[in-house]
Amino acid sequence: MIALRRSLPATPREWRNFLLGVAFASPWIIGFLAFTIIPISSSLYYSFTRYDLVRDPVWIGVRNYVAFADDADFRLVAGNTLWWVLLSSPLGVVSAFLMALLLNSRIIFRSFFRAIFFFPAIVPVVVTAFVWIFLLNIQYGAINSTLQAWGFKAIPFISSPKLMKSSLVVIHMWSQGAAMVIFLATLQDVPRSLYEAATVDGATAFRRLWNITIPMVSPVILFNLVISFIGGFQYFTLPWIMTQGGPSRSAEFYAIYLYRNAFQWFRMGKASALAWVLFLLILLFTYLLFRSSGRFVYYAGAAR
Amino acid sequence: MATQVTVAHYPQPWYRHALELLGHFLKYSVLIVLAVSFLLPFYWMMSSAVKNDAQIYVVPPIWFPRPQFWENFWNAWNSETFNLWTFNTVVRYALPATIGTVLSSSLVAYSFARIDWKGRDALFAIVLATMMVPDWVRLVPLFVIFKKLGWINTFNALVVPNFFGSAFFIFLLRQFFLALPLELSDAARIDGASELHIFVRIILPLSKAALAVVALFTFMNAWNDYLGPLIYLNREEKWVLTLGVGRLRSAVDEIGNTKLAYPWLMAVSSLITLPVFLAFFFAQRIFIEGISLTGLKG
């Protein structure tokens, strides 16, 4: 009670500020109720029902959740998604980091190269999808028809279930501009004096990278990794446009399966349950990432 | 007698210079190979856009098509209602979404940054927490709600939520507003200016750079958005560009049935990339600074 009383405005001036503050924040407060609280709670409710949008929701308890245990489709998409997240996130972060390192070294035309590396990140995803479909086409794609002309066998980048996900990883590494820019800004903030001191002590370029650069940017590595994990679990648009989750469902990711359940088969209950499991998975992985990061991440400001 | 100053002397082996040169050579080789491979997909897209079928279905690939069929751009664009879809994308989706986001996010950010009220920090923590909730959790129930409101196949479903602030941009603008000196507001308050007046007349004009970031990012997100329109817009006359190009894509999947399937797809893909390219070309600084701003302070 005391805590509550202390958190309430007391003086007229505090009241005035409180009302003003709430008034200015009211768009978000209303939106939070309408587009977050109500949807989230109804999503939780729907996840315990069978609901096809035509008839009213029917309460079925935890059956949607229990059914995942022996749902072959669920296992398939969960497996694909785990593969995707565990591979694409670290590789994407490495790709972004290496590009930033290159750009941060002493080079001419830096902003020109930076623009080139960054641009794929802001191209509409549909365009990325169409261009790569064509580039990687087994017969007439630029890569395969070059290979054929040189007498090699064509590589079924997007027509073989074995290669599809790897091709997506390559495209993912190609469009890491945003993470790269964040790395670049951080790299530029690493104090010069550290490098100078290390050079005087005779440290090699590799030692400087390993013992100065990486520790100094490690919080941002973690940040980019977390963002990438969260995005990776919700990966949808590119595989959906390119092959609708194919070939042979090799790129049928969690979000694609969720989309099908919700908007193709109108199983709103099951789709909601899927969404909640996804949410819990994301929370779990983010937590694990933060937990395990303690030993690897160096916070310059933190007392230890 | 003058004192001899000893200068620390590091042994410089004869090969040091050669190593440095080799390092430079390697660095620039990697840079150039990377840059070429980053640009190649775009070059492939644009060069394929001006080919005819004979130049498309050929091994080895043609990198410099001759002759070029520039009419592909015109014909592809007019093969479907791309004019209407552009209108939908810009006037009915991207512009109102941008206006809504800039207005609401700056208003809310002002409250969190420059009005000292009880409960503010707790509420701001909730704003940040909502960023953790995956969109997919909200998508299903929002679809149900919008369906009940009769908003399916209208742009309301895509536009209206933008008028209630976006957590990400509220965060970004709050960081920016916090950095402006408090004395500015205090002086105006002493002169009897209202909070709204301070916001509109003092804070907003000083924040043009940050507002430009928000506007640019929101507009681009709407221009590039695929999932939202896919879920809410089923009728063709309501489509946006990202859905519309899909039309040309299906022609590609049935090779042999449609003439110029690839050139047309690549032509329209180039055309809808063009505004993004121009925006980036002229506002590169806004892009780069906007992203580093959000990343660093996060």
Q: What is the 3-state secondary structure (H, E, C) of chain A?
A: CHHHHHHCCCCHHHHHHHHHHHHHHHHHHHHHHHHHHHHHHHHHHHCCEECCCCCCCEECCCHHHHHHHHCHHHHHHHHHHHHHHHHHHHHHHHHHHHHHHHHHCCCCCHHHHHHHHHHHHHCCHHHHHHHHHHHCCCCCCHHHHHHHHCCCCCCCCCCCHHHHHHHHHHHHHHCCHHHHHHHHHHHHHCCHHHHHHHHHCCCCHHHHHHHHHHHHHHHHHHHHHHHHHHHHHCCCHHHHHHHCCCCCCCCCCHHHHHHHHHHHCCCHHHHHHHHHHHHHHHHHHHHHHHHHHCCCCCCCCCCC
Best of A49, A122, A226 to disrupt the B interface (most B CBs within 10 Å) is: A122
Look up the ipTM and state it: 0.89
Which residues lie below 8 Å from residue B156, measured CB to CB, with a gap of 6+?
A: B146, B149
Q: Which residues of B154-186 are buried (b: 16+ CB within 10 A; e: fewer)?
A: bbebbbbbbbbbbbbbbbbbbbbbeeeeeeebe
Name chain A contacts of B161, Cβ cutoff 8 Å.
Answer: 31, 35
Best of A16, A28, A274 to disrupt the B interface (most B CBs within 10 Å) is: A28
Chain segment B54-77, per-residue pLDDT in tens: 898 888 888 999 899 999 999 999
* Nearest beta carbon to residue B280 from set A122, A182, A276: A122
Comparing CA positions, the residue from A121, A109, A190, A209 lying closest to residue B31 is A109
* Cβ distance of B45 and A124 shorter than 8 Å: no
- CA of residue B83 relative to chain centroid, distance: 22
Distance between CA atoms of B277 and B283, rounded to whole angstroms? 10
Q: How many CB atoms lie within 10 A of CB A201?
A: 8
- Which residue of chain A comes nearest to B45, CA vs CA? A131
- What is the token pair recorded at B91? 């006037």
B52 touches A at CB < 8 Å: no
Q: How many CB atoms lie within 10 A of CB A111?
A: 12
Name chain A contacts of B40, Cβ cutoff 8 Å.
Answer: 142
Residue A58 has phi, psi (to 5 degrees) of -110, 125
DSSP string across B222-255: HHH--HHHHHH--SGGG--HHHHHHHHHHHHHSB
Distance between CA atoms of A119 and A113, rounded to whole angstroms? 10
* Nearest beta carbon to residue A130 from set B107, B133, B265: B265
B256 touches A at CB < 8 Å: no
* Cβ distance of B104 and A99 shorter than 8 Å: no
Name chain B contacts of A20, Cβ cutoff 8 Å.
Answer: 111, 115, 117, 195
Q: How far is A39 from chain B (nearest CA, A)?
A: 5
Distance between CA atoms of B292 and A243, rounded to whole angstroms? 33
* Cβ distance of B115 and A21 shorter than 8 Å: yes
For chains A and B, what is the number of CB pairs under 8 angstroms? 270
* Cβ distance of A122 and B224 shorter than 8 Å: yes
Determine contact, residues B233/B240, Cβ cutoff 8 Å: yes
Name chain B contacts of A17, Cβ cutoff 8 Å.
Answer: 115-118
* Cβ distance of A117 and B34 shorter than 8 Å: yes
CA distance readout (Å), B279 to A114, A128, A184, B6, B62: 16, 18, 21, 57, 30
* Nearest beta carbon to residue B111 from set A25, A116, A133: A25
B27 touches A at CB < 8 Å: yes
Best of A6, A15, A17, A24 to disrupt the B interface (most B CBs within 10 Å) is: A24
DSSP H or E stretch at residue B208:
helix B208-224
Q: Which amino acid is at B165?
A: G
Q: How confident is the prediction along chain B (298 residues), in pLDDT tens digits per residue?
A: 444 555 555 556 677 788 888 888 898 999 999 999 999 999 999 999 999 888 988 888 889 998 999 999 999 999 999 999 999 999 999 999 999 999 999 999 999 999 999 889 999 999 998 888 888 999 999 999 999 999 999 999 999 999 999 998 999 899 889 888 888 888 888 888 888 999 999 999 999 888 998 999 999 999 999 999 999 999 999 999 999 999 888 887 766 667 888 999 999 999 999 999 999 888 888 888 777 766 544 3
Distance between CA atoms of B61 and B41, rounded to whole angstroms? 13
Name chain B contacts of A150, Cβ cutoff 8 Å.
Answer: 60
* Nearest beta carbon to residue B295 from set A102, A122, A182: A182
Name chain B contacts of A38, Cβ cutoff 8 Å.
Answer: 141, 145
Name chain A contacts of B223, Cβ cutoff 8 Å.
Answer: 124
Determine contact, residues B158/B119, Cβ cutoff 8 Å: no
Helix, strand, coil percentages, rounded to 5, for chain B: 75, 0, 25
B172 touches A at CB < 8 Å: no
pTM of the entire predicted model: 0.90
* Cβ distance of A268 and B280 shorter than 8 Å: no
Best of B12, B140, B194 to disrupt the A interface (most A CBs within 10 Å) is: B140
Determine contact, residues B134/A275, Cβ cutoff 8 Å: yes
Q: How many CB atoms lie within 10 A of CB A81?
A: 22
Comparing CA positions, the residue from B269, B232, B96, B37 lying closest to residue A124 is B269
Determine contact, residues B248/B49, Cβ cutoff 8 Å: no
* Nearest beta carbon to residue B27 from set A105, A111, A233: A105
Distance between CA atoms of A94 and A225, rounded to whole angstroms? 10
Comparing CA positions, the residue from B130, B120, B118, B109 lying closest to residue B179 is B109
Distance between CA atoms of B229 and B237, rounded to whole angstroms? 12
* Nearest beta carbon to residue B147 from set A39, A53, A233: A53
What 8-state DSSP symbol labels residue B164?
G
Q: How far is A100 from chain B (nearest CA, A)?
A: 11
* Cβ distance of A17 and B116 shorter than 8 Å: yes
Q: How confident is the prediction along chain A (304 residues), in pLDDT tens digits per residue?
A: 455 556 677 788 888 889 999 999 999 999 999 999 999 999 999 999 999 988 999 999 999 999 998 899 999 999 999 999 999 999 999 999 999 999 998 888 888 999 999 999 999 999 999 999 999 988 888 899 899 889 898 899 988 999 999 999 999 999 999 899 989 988 988 888 888 888 888 888 888 888 889 988 988 899 899 999 999 999 999 999 999 988 999 999 999 999 999 999 999 999 999 999 999 999 999 999 888 887 778 776 554 4
Comparing CA positions, the residue from A183, A251, A175, A176 lying closest to residue A218 is A183
* Nearest beta carbon to residue B134 from set A99, A182, A279: A279
- Which residue of chain B comes nearest to A258, CA vs CA? B136
DSSP string across B56-109: HS-SSPPSS-SS--THHHHHHHHHTTHHHHHHIIIIIIIHHHHHHHHHHHHHHH
Which residues lie below 8 Å from residue A131, measured CB to CB, with a gap of 6+?
A: B41, B42, B44, B45, B266, B269
* Nearest beta carbon to residue B291 from set A131, A181, A271: A181
Determine contact, residues B213/B98, Cβ cutoff 8 Å: no
B112 touches A at CB < 8 Å: yes
